[in-house]
Amino acid sequence: MQQLLFMGSFPEAITFKVGIYVDWLVKWLMHNFGDIFNAISDGILWVLLKIEEFLLWVPWWGILLVIFLLGWRYKKITAGLLYAFLVLLIGSFGLWGYMMSTLSVVLTSVVISLIVGIPIGILMTYKDKLEIIVKPTLDAMQTMPGFVYLIPAVLLFGMGMVPAVIATTVYAIPPVIRLTNLGIKNVSKEMVEAAHSFGSSNWQTLYKVQLPQALPTIMTGINQTTMMALSMVVICSMIGARGLGMEVLIAINRIDIARGFESGVSIVILAIIIDRITQGIVNRHKVPQQ
**pLDDT for 92-123, tens place per residue?**
998 999 999 999 999 999 999 999 999 998 89
Residue 53 lies in a domain: yes
Q: For residue 290, what pLDDT is reported?
A: 41
Q: For residue 289, what pLDDT is reported?
A: 43
Distance CA 33, CA 36 (A): 5
Residue 87 lies in a domain: no
**pLDDT for 20-36, tens place per residue?**
887 788 888 888 888 88
100 Cβ contact list (under 8 Å, min separation 6): 52, 55, 56
Residue 5 lies in a domain: no
Q: For residue 100, what pLDDT is reported?
A: 92
Q: For residue 8, what pLDDT is reported?
A: 64
Q: Which domain holds residue 160?
A: 16-57+93-289
Environment class of 101 (CB within 10 Å of its CB; exposed 0-12, middle 13-18, buried 19+): buried
Residue 233 lies in a domain: yes
User: Is the pLDDT score of 53 beyond 50?
Assistant: yes
Residue 102 lies in a domain: yes
User: Is the pLDDT score of 277 beyond 70?
Assistant: yes
Q: Look at residue 11 and give its three-state secondary structure.
A: coil
Distance CA 100, CA 102 (A): 5
> What mean pLDDT comes out for the span 204-227?
85
CB 103 within 8 Å of CB 270: yes
Residue 168 sits in a domain of what CATH number?
Answer: 1.10.3720.10
Residue 69 lies in a domain: no
Q: What is the sign, positive or negative, of the torsion defined by CA atoms of 155, 32, 108, 143?
A: negative
Instruction: Report the chain's mean pLDDT, rounded to a whole number.
Output: 85
225-256 burial, b if ≥16 CB within 10 A, otherwise e?
Answer: bbbbbbbbbbbbbebebbbbbbbbbebeeeee
User: Is the pLDDT score of 4 beyond 60?
Assistant: no
Distance CA 237, CA 229 (A): 13
Counting the structural domains of the chain, the total is 1
Distance CA 221, CA 207 (A): 18
Dihedrals phi, psi of 170, to nearest 5 degrees:
-65, -40
Residue 27 lies in a domain: yes
Residue 1 lies in a domain: no
> What mean pLDDT comes out for the span 180-209?
80
Q: Look at residue 16 and give its three-state secondary structure.
A: coil
User: Is the pLDDT score of 287 beyond 80?
Assistant: no
**pLDDT for 140-157, tens place per residue?**
888 888 788 888 888 888
Global confidence as pTM: 0.86
Distance CA 264, CA 6 (A): 48
Distance CA 230, CA 234 (A): 9
Q: For residue 130, what pLDDT is reported?
A: 84
